[in-house]
C-alpha cells in the first residue's frame, strides 16, 4: 500500500440459495485465498451470504437470523487476515428489512451500508421485501460486541491516501447515484455489491456505465456481480466482475465463470487527478454539506508493501494496442496539421521553411508541413527544405534529407555552413579543434540564422522541429534550434515521434517509405561533432543525456500526475526490469531532474505550437514554473533511496 498502490479484489463464490452456512464457508475460503495474494480489500456480491434470488424467503425469520449469525462468524474467522471484507446480507431493523453491505476488518464489523434505490420492475421485486436505507442513520446492535454504524452516509478511511464508499447494484444505474456523494465526501474508491442478471447486450452496457462513472468521479470502481450459483428460475447470472480506474479497465472477469478478480489500483494517481481538476468539487457549498453529513469510519490499516502486478508501460506516451496506436498517430498528425494550417491561413502565408537534417524530428516536421499545405491547397514548392552540411554531417543523413525533399516534391536548398562558422569562430577567437559547447552551439545558431533569413527572403515562416523530450531536458541550443516561428513538434515526446514517422511510412508510396524507414533506423544525433573514422555518426544523443524512453517515463509521471521521484523510480524499476539495472535508472532519473530544473529558462520563451496531449510544457498555460526553482527537494528524495 506504499506509494498509493493497493491490491483489491472482487469475488463471486458459487453459492447455494438460502444456504447461509455453506455460502459463508466459501466466502471465508476466498478471503483467505485473496489475503495470501496480498489483497487488502475484497468485495463480494449483493446478498452474498443468503443469495440474491431468495424471493419471499427473505421474509422468513430463520433466514435473517442465519444471515446475521454467519456475518458474525465470518468476522471471527477472518479476524487474523490483514484484509478488509465487504459482504452482502439482509438486515432486519425496527420491523423493516434492508439490503445491506457489511464492512469488517480484523474481527470488527465497522459499518453497515443499506441499499438506497430499491427496484420493483421486470424480474426485480425487491420492494416486496426491502426498504430503502436513504433515511437510516443509527448504530445497529448485531451482538453485544458488534454495534456498527448503520447508514448509507458513510465512507471508510483506510489510509491517508485511500478512502472508499459503497453502493449496491441499482444504486449505480440511477441518475443521482450514491457514489457521487461518496466521492464528494472523499471516497476515491467505490465498491459495488451487485446482482445484475445477464441478458443480450447487458455486459457491454454495464461495462460502459461503470467506466463512465469511474471517469466522471475520478475514482476506482470495483464491481462484484452475483455468480452462476444463483437460482435460474427466471434469471441467469454471469459473475461479471470489473475493476476500473478513472475510466480504464484494469481487470475484468469472463462471463459465466466464478473467479477471484484482482487488480492493483493507484490511489495516488486518482488523488492527483482530483487535485488537477478543480471543477471536481467546484460546488463548494454542496460538497461541504455532504462532507458534514457523512461519517468517516477509520479502518486504521497499517501501510505495507504491495507486490505490483498491474501493467505499467515502458512507453506511457505510446499505446500498446496497434489499432489504438494507429488511431492515435492519425489524430496527432491531424492536430499538428490543423495547427500549422490555421497559422498559415491566419497570417496569409504560403511559404514555410524548415531545416532538414535527415533525422526524425525534422522529418516529422516536414510530414506535418506537407499535410498542412495539401489541406490548404497550396503548392508544395512553397515548402523550402534547407539542408546545411557542416562538420558533423554524415553522408547517410545528408542523402536521406535530399531524398526526402525530392520524394515530397518540396523545394530543396543546400547551403553548406562550414566557412561561415569558421569565420564566426575566427571573429570570436574560437579554435576549431576545441570541440566544446561553443563549437556545437555556433553551428546550431548559424543554421537558425540561415533559416530565419531565408524565411524573410520568401515571405514565409520557420517551422520548428524540436520535440517535447528535448525541451524537458533542455537539449536545444538557446536561440538556435530552440527558436522558430511555429513549432509543430513542441508537445510530441521523442518516443512518440518515431511511431508518427513509422505511421507515415506505412501509409505512403514505396519510394518514400524506403527513405522514412532508413531515417527510423538512423541513430538520434544533433551531428555537431565530426563523424568517426568510418564516416558514421559519432555523437549519439542518448549516450550523452540518457535513454529517451527513461526520460519520457520520468517526464510523463512527473507532469501528468505529480508523482514523487521515489514513486517514479519504483514504477520505472518495475516497468524496465530486465532492461535497465536499478542503478542505471536512478542515475538517469537524477540527471533528468537536474536538467529539467536548470533548463526552464529555455521553456519560458518557447514559440507557439500545437498541444497534442495531456503532458506539454507551454509556458502560456500548460506548465508554469519559475526559471530559478530549486531542485534539491527532488534530488534529496532520490539520494535517500537504498538500492
Distance CA 389, CA 396 (A): 12
Distance CA(447)–CA(445), nearest Å, equals 5
* CA geometry: angle 12, 18, 22, nearest 5 deg: 60
Residue 323, CA distances (Å) to 20, 315, 328, 329 in order: 48, 16, 9, 10
Q: Report residue 153: phi and psi, to 5°.
A: -95, 65
* Catalytic option among 10, 43, 100, 169: 169
The backbone torsions φ and ψ at residue 501, rounded to the nearest 5 degrees and listed phi first, read: -65, -40
Please tell me whether residue 588 adopts helix, strand or coil conformation: helix
Q: Please indicate whether residue 169 is annotated as part of the active site.
A: yes
Q: How far is CA 292 from the centre of its chain?
A: 32
> Which residue in 362, 374, 349 sits closest to 461, CA to CA?
349
Longest dimension (CA), the chain: 101
414 is catalytic: no
How many Å apart are CA 65 and CA 91, to the nearest integer? Answer: 9
Q: Which one of 46, 170, 273, 446 is the catalytic residue?
A: 46
3-state DSSP of 397-429:
HHHHHHHHHHHCCCEEEECCCHHHHHHHHHHHC
The separation between the first and the last C-alpha atoms of the chain, rounded to the nearest angstrom, is: 20
Alpha-carbon distance 576 to 435, whole Å? 35
Q: Is 348 left (phi over 0), alpha (psi -120 to 50) or beta?
A: left
**Nearby residues of 363 by Cβ (< 8 Å), 6 or more positions away:** 356, 404, 501, 516, 519
Please pick, among 115, 181, 184, 351, the residue that the annotation labels catalytic: 115
Half-sphere exposure at residue 418, Cβ-oriented, CA atoms within 13 angstroms: 8
Spatial neighbors of 217 by CB under 8 A, at least 6 apart, are 179, 180, 183, 190
Give phi and psi for 242, each to the nearest 5: -140, 140
Annotation marks residue 46 as catalytic = yes
Please state the φ and ψ torsions of residue 291, each to the nearest 5 degrees: -60, -35
For the annotated catalytic residues, the residue numbers are 46, 115, 169
Amino acid at each position: 500500500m506504499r506509494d498509493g498502490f493497493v491490491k483489491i479484489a472482487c469475488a463471486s463464490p458459487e453459492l447455494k440459495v438460502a444456504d447461509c452456512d455453506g455460502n459463508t464457508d466459501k466466502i471465508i475460503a476466498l478471503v483467505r485465498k485473496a489475503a495470501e495474494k496480498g489483497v487488502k480489500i475484497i468485495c463480494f456480491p449483493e446478498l452474498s451470504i443468503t443469495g440474491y434470488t431468495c424471493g419471499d424467503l427473505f421474509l422468513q425469520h430463520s433466514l435473517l437470523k442465519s444471515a446475521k449469525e454467519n456475518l458474525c462468524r465470518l468476522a471471527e474467522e477472518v479476524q487474523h487476515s490483514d484484509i478488509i471484507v465487504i459482504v452482502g446480507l439482509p438486515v432486519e431493523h425496527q420491523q423493516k428489512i434492508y439490503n445491506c453491505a457489511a464492512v469488517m476488518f480484523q474481527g470488527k464489523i465497522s459499518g453497515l451500508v443499506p441499499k438506497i434505490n430499491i427496484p420493483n420492475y421486470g424480474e426485480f421485486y425487491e420492494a416486496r421485501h426491502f426498504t430503502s436505507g436513504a433515511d437510516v442513520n443509527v448504530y445497529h446492535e448485531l451482538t453485544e460486541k458488534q454495534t456498527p454504524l448503520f447508514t448509507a452516509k458513510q465512507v471508510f478511511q483506510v489510509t491517508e491516501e485511500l478512502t472508499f464508499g459503497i453502493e449496491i447494484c441499482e444504486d449505480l444505474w440511477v441518475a443521482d447515484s450514491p457514489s457521487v456523494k461518496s466521492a464528494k465526501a472523499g471516497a476515491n474508491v467505490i465498491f459495488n455489491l451487485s446482482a445484475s442478471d445477464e441478458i443480450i447486450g447487458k455486459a457491454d452496457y454495464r461495462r460502459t456505465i461503470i467506466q463512465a462513472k469511474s471517469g466522471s468521479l475520478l475514482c476506482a470502481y470495483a464491481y462484484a456481480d452475483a455468480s452462476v450459483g444463483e437460482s435460474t428460475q427466471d434469471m441467469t447470472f454471469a459473475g461479471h466482475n470489473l475493476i476500473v480506474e478513472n475510466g480504464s479497465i484494469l481487470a475484468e472477469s469472463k462471463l459465466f465463470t466464478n473467479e477471484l478478480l484482482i487488480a492493483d489500483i493507484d490511489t495516488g494517481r486518482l488523488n492527483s487527478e482530483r487535485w488537477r481538476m478543480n471543477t471536481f468539487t467546484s460546488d463548494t457549498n454542496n460538497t461541504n454539506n455532504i462532507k458534514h453529513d457523512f461519517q468517516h469510519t477509520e479502518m486504521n490499516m497499517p501501510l505495507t508493501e504491495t507486490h505490483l502486478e498491474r501493467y505499467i508501460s515502458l512507453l506511457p506516451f505510446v499505446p500498446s494496442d496497434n489499432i489504438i496506436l494507429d488511431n492515435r498517430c492519425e489524430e496527432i498528425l491531424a492536430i499538428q496539421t490543423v495547427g500549422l494550417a490555421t497559422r498559415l491561413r491566419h497570417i496569409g502565408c504560403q511559404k514555410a521553411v524548415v531545416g532538414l537534417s535527415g533525422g526524425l524530428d525534422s522529418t516529422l516536421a516536414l510530414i506535418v508541413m506537407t499535410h498542412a499545405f495539401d489541406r490548404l491547397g497550396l503548392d508544395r514548392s512553397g515548402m523550402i527544405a534547407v539542408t546545411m552540411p557542416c562538420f558533423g554531417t554524415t553522408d547517410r543523413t545528408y542523402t536521406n534529407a535530399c531524398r526526402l525533399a525530392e520524394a515530397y516534391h518540396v523545394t530543396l536548398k543546400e547551403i553548406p555552413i562550414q566557412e561561415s562558422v569558421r569565420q564566426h569562430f575566427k571573429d570570436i577567437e574560437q579554435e576549431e579543434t576545441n570541440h566544446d559547447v561553443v563549437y556545437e552551439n555556433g553551428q546550431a545558431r548559424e543554421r537558425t540564422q540561415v533559416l530565419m533569413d531565408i524565411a524573410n527572403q520568401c515571405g514565409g515562416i520557420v517551422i520548428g522541429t524540436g520535440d517535447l523530450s528535448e525541451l524537458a531536458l533542455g537539449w536545444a541550443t538557446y536561440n538556435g534550434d530552440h527558436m522558430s516561428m511555429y513549432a509543430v513538434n513542441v508537445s510530441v515526446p521523442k518516443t512518440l515521434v518515431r511511431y508518427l514517422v513509422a505511421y507515415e511510412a506505412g501509409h505512403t508510396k514505396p519510394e518514400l517509405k524506403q527513405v522514412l524507414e532508413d531515417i527510423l533506423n538512423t541513430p538520434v544525433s544533433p551531428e555537431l561533432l565530426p563523424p568517426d573514422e568510418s564516416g558514421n555518426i559519432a555523437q549519439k544523443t542518448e549516450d550523452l543525456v540518457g535513454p529517451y524512453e527513461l526520460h519520457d517515463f520520468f517526464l510523463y509521471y512527473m507532469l501528468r500526475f505529480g508523482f514523487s521521484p521515489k514513486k517514479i523510480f519504483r514504477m520505472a524499476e518495475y516497468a524496465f526490469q530486465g532492461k535497465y539495472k536499478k542503478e542505471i535508472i536512478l542515475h538517469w532519473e537524477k540527471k533528468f531532474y537536474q536538467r529539467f530544473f536548470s533548463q526552464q529558462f529555455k521553456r519560458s520563451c518557447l514559440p507557439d505550437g500545437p498541444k497534442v496531449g495531456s503532458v506539454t510544457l507551454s509556458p502560456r498555460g500548460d506548465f508554469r514554473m519559475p526559471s530559478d526553482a530549486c531542485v534539491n527537494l527532488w534530488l534529496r528524495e532520490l539520494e535517500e533511496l537504498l538500492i
